C-alpha cells in the first residue's frame, strides 16, 4: 500500500509498505479517504519544537476520515474518524481520565505512524462513527475542533463569561471564535491584515486588524492565544482585567510578568490534546458544518504530499488564500 512518510525534516515521500492485518478482536482496519494537515504535523515536518529530536520516518498526519473494511463489530462499511492519541491506559493519569497527560503518550503522525496511508489499523477505542449528514472531507476538522472544545473546558465557569478575544485568525483561531460565538459570548478575533479577517467577518465574527504599532484592546474576561508569540502574549497579559482568564493554545515562548498575574489575580490555563471530546466535536460540526467547512481551502492527492506540506508551512505572504489543506487518498 502507499503511505506518506517524513524521511527527514522538510521532506515527505510516498513509499510502499505492507498493508496491516487484523490480528485481534479489538483491532479495526480502515481505508483512509481523507487526511488533514494541521500545525502539529507541520512541526514534525519542519523538525522543530517537541518533535525536534524525532527522526523516525513516521507515516505523517493524524486527522483522518475513512471507511471501516474489517473488524469484529458492526462498523464494517461505516464512515469513521480516528482518535490519534495512544496511551498506556493504566497509569494514574489514564485511570483518572486524563490520558492526554499520560507519561507514555504517543501522538499518531509524529510519535507513532499516522494516517496518511491507504489502510490504517487502530484499536477499536480510537474509532468514532461520523454522521452521514457531514460531507466526508469535513471530518478532517473533527480532531482540531475537539482540541478546541477540550481547551475551552479548562476555563472555569465558561458559561458565565460574557466577552472574549481570540488572537490569531488561523484555523484554530477561527474555530475558537466560531465556538465562542455559538455559546453566546461576545467575541473579537484579532490579527494582522489578512483575507482571513474578511472571511471571519463573512461568518459573523467581529474582528480587529492590529499592526506593529497598534495597541492590544483590553477588558476581555477571556483571552485565547493561538499564536505562541512572546510579544503577543506579553501584550495580552498586560491588557487583561482583574481575574481575567488567559488560555494558551499554541506552544511558544512566554515572558511572564508575575507581578501582573499576582496583582490582578489572573488565571492562566494550558491544554493539550482532545481527550474525550471528539464525540462532542462531531455533534458541533454536524450542527454548524456550513461555518466550519470554510476552513478547508485546499485539497491534494497523496502524491502531492510534498506540495501540500510546502504550501502549509510557507510564509503567510506566499500562501494566498490558504487556511487548511487535506489530502484525498481515494
Sign of CA dihedral 138, 178, 158, 147: positive
Query: CA–CA separation, 140 vs 62, rounded Å?
Result: 9
Q: Across-strand partners of 22?
A: none
Task: Write down the pLDDT at residue 55.
Answer: 76
All structural domains of the chain with their residue ranges? 2-146+274-328, 155-270
Q: Pick one of 3.40.47.10, 3.40.190.10, 3.40.50.720, 3.40.50.620 as the CATH number of 155-270.
A: 3.40.50.720
What does DSSP assign to residue 293?
A: G
Of 278, 231, 6, which is closest to residue 116 (Cα–Cα)? 6
Contact 14, 60 (CB under 8 A): no
Quick one: 180 exposed, middle or buried, by C-beta within 10 A (0-12, 13-18, 19+)? buried
Contact 107, 40 (CB under 8 A): yes
Topology of domain 2-146+274-328, per CATH?
A: Quinone Oxidoreductase; Chain A, domain 1 (3.90.180)
Is 75 in a helix, a strand, or coil?
Answer: coil
Query: CA–CA separation, 267 vs 248, rounded Å?
Result: 11
Residue with cell 470554510: 294
In order of 15, 24, 117, 124, the CA distances from 4 in angstroms are 6, 26, 6, 23
DSSP secondary structure of 294-319: GGEEEEEEGGGHHHHHHHHHS-GGGS
Grid coordinates representing 303 are 502524491
Task: Write down the pLDDT at residue 64.
Answer: 96
Task: Write down the pLDDT at residue 72.
Answer: 67
Residues in CB range of 203: below 8 A, 6 or more apart: 174, 178, 291, 294
Task: Write down the pLDDT at residue 56.
Answer: 80
Residue segments in the chain with a per-residue pLDDT below the cut of 50:
none
Residues in CB range of 198: below 8 A, 6 or more apart: none
Amino acid at each position: 500500500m502507499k503511505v506518506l512518510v517524513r524521511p527527514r525534516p522538510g521532506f515527505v515521500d510516498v513509499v510502499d509498505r505492507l498493508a496491516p492485518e487484523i490480528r485481534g478482536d479489538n483491532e479495526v482496519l480502515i481505508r483512509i479517504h481523507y487526511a488533514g494537515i494541521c500545525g502539529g504535523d507541520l512541526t514534525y515536518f519542519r523538525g522543530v519544537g517537541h518533535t525536534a529530536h524525532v527522526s523516525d520516518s513516521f507515516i505523517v498526519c493524524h486527522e483522518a476520515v475513512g471507511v471501516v473494511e474489517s473488524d469484529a463489530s458492526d462498523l464494517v462499511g461505516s464512515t469513521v474518524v480516528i482518535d490519534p492519541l495512544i496511551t498506556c491506559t493504566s497509569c494514574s493519569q489514564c485511570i483518572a481520565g486524563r490520558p492526554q497527560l499520560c507519561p507514555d503518550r504517543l501522538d499518531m503522525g509524529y510519535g507513532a505512524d499516522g494516517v496518511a496511508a491507504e489502510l490504517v489499523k487502530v484499536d477499536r477505542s480510537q474509532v468514532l462513527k461520523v454522521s452521514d449528514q457531514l460531507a466526508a472531507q469535513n471530518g478532517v476538522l473533527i480532531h482540531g475542533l475537539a482540541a478546541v472544545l477540550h481547551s475551552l473546558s479548562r476555563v472555569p465557569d465558561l458559561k458565565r463569561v460574557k466577552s472574549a478575544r481570540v488572537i490569531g485568525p488561523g484555523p484554530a483561531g477561527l474555530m475558537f471564535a466560531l465556538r465562542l460565538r455559538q455559546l453566546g459570548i461576545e467575541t473579537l478575533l484579532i490579527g494582522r491584515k489578512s483575507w482571513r479577517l474578511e472571511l471571519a467577518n463573512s461568518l459573523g465574527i467581529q474582528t480587529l486588524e492590529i499592526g506593529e504599532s497598534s495597541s492590544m484592546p483590553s477588558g476581555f474576561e477571556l483571552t485565547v492565544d493561538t499564536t505562541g508569540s512572546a510579544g503577543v502574549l506579553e501584550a495580552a497579559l498586560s491588557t487583561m482585567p482583574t481575574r481575567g482568564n488567559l488560555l494558551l493554545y499554541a506552544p511558544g515562548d512566554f515572558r511572564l510578568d508575575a507581578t501582573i498575574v499576582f496583582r490582578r489575580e489572573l488565571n492562566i490555563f494550558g491544554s493539550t490534546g482532545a481527550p474525550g471530546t471528539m464525540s462532542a466535536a462531531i455533534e458541533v460540526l454536524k450542527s454548524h458544518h456550513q461555518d466550519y467547512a470554510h476552513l478547508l481551502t485546499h485539497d491534494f492527492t497523496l502524491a502531492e504530499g510534498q506540495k501540500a506540506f510546502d504550501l502549509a508551512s510557507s510564509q503567510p505572504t506566499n500562501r494566498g488564500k490558504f487556511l487548511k489543506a487535506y489530502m484525498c487518498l481515494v
